[in-house]
Chain A
Amino acid sequence: ETGVTQTPRHLVMGMTNKKSLKCEQHLGHNAMYWYKQSAKKPLELMFVYNFKEQTENNSVPSRFSPECPNSSHLFLHLHTLQPEDSALYLCASSQGRDSFPYEQYFGPGTRLTVT
């Protein structure tokens, strides 16, 4: 595997379900990001981890719970979601804190549908 991978690619879940999205980067990076991409809206940054330290939570509802066990893996745990949470969830990685340039490399995304 190369680059940034995400599993699953597609997920359909009910509002009462609990599921997790997984992201793995094979680039030796230290920072990882979760974004939400909804139709007709700019990318929304949800969470940032840098050397496993979470730095950002842009007013994301608590039904989204991130986990970063190491610099290569990032999870997004989902529970009791709402239909408006249906979107493409993108994971990205970069070299990390104080390491310019810090362009981000993206995974293919998980298309989430909440029914």
Chain B
Amino acid sequence: AQSVTQPDIHITVSEGASLELRCNYSYGATPYLFWYVQSPGQGLQLLLKYFSGDTLVQGIKGFEAEFKRSQSSFNLRKPSVHWSDAAEYFCAVGASTDSWGKLQFGAGTQVVVTP
């Protein structure tokens, strides 16, 4: 069965500093990988996705993620964090063999941005 692990429950970063959020997955076949962001009281917004091809993917709001098959990782990065990036971030994996489009979500990483 597929699984997703986000090792960091909580990260504090200064505004203007770089941010990296870790995501590790466990899945035997080709995974489809996603990062979502959730602001307080809101639903989840898709930041970026990886299906195939270039392992460095660009997303919205200046985020990027790199797929590393050898490490079973899909880490999210942003070079310079803005106060508006404070939110909870979720990594999700989908199975290429699942035609119903179900996703497995990680537990989330809460990001706090300090002045």
Contacts and interface: CB of A to CB of B under 8 A. Distances in A.
A103 B43 contact: no
B17 interface: no
A107 B100 contact: no
Contacts of A111: 41
Interface string A26-61: 000001010000001111010010100001100000
Nearest to B45: A106
Interface string A83-115: 000000010101111101111111111010000
Interface residues of A, number: 31
B43 A109 contact: yes
Interface in B11-63: 32, 34, 36, 41-46, 49, 51
A4 B43 contact: yes
A31 B105 contact: no
Contact of B100 (A56, A90, A92): A56
